[in-house]
Homo-oligomer: A and B are copies of this chain.
Amino acid sequence: MTVPQPSNDPVRDTFKEFLNSKSLRVTNQRMAIFDAAFGMEDHFTAEDLLDKARAIDSSVSRATVYRALPILTESNLIREVDVGRDYKFYAANKDVRTFQAQVICTDCEKIFEIDAPFMEWYGQTVASKLGLEVVDQRLQVSARCPGKKNGVCSNEAIQARA
């Protein structure tokens, strides 16, 4: 429950180093977007991120958020979680070590992240049979709460988009 001190945040420094290594500039807006992403409790959309980043630095624009997302993704500090909606979700890589699968509840829209370490092996096996090299992979299960009406779900996680 303690508010992390940005100046002491090693991940924050990692991002700055990444920017430097790519000759990208460390701007207030980029750092606000970074802080917003790592302040998210859960998965978030570009629009969620814009709102939260603006709460930190009101000058952040939508365009800058969209321009920052590929940078954050490339740096491996956040990951894209495409669950087949019209828009994409993202999540901060806080302490992810193994491959994650997503279980998406179609009733409450909650996205659960599940460890699926065997996937690392699976993707390589399948790709190598085709002579290809794995770049990325995703495993997603859409599921519903049995006995629940659409829209109301028993999971205490009835908080879809942050």
The residues of A with any CB-CB pair to B shorter than 8 Å are: 80, 82, 84, 101, 103, 105-106, 112, 114, 116, 122-123, 126-127, 130-146, 154-155
Contacts and interface: CB of A to CB of B under 8 A. Distances in A.
Contacts of A127: 103, 141, 143
Contact of A141 (B101, B123, B155): B123
The interface residues of chain A, by DSSP majority, are classed as strand
Given A84-B138, A106-B135, A131-B154, 14 more contacts: A82-B84, A114-B126, A122-B139, A130-B143, A132-B145, A132-B146, A133-B144, A133-B145, A135-B144, A136-B141, A136-B142, A137-B141, A137-B142, A138-B138
A80 B84 CA distance: 10
| Number of this chain's copies in the complex | 2
A107 to B, nearest CB: 9
A116 to B, nearest CB: 8
Contacts of A155: 130-131
Contacts of A133: 143-146
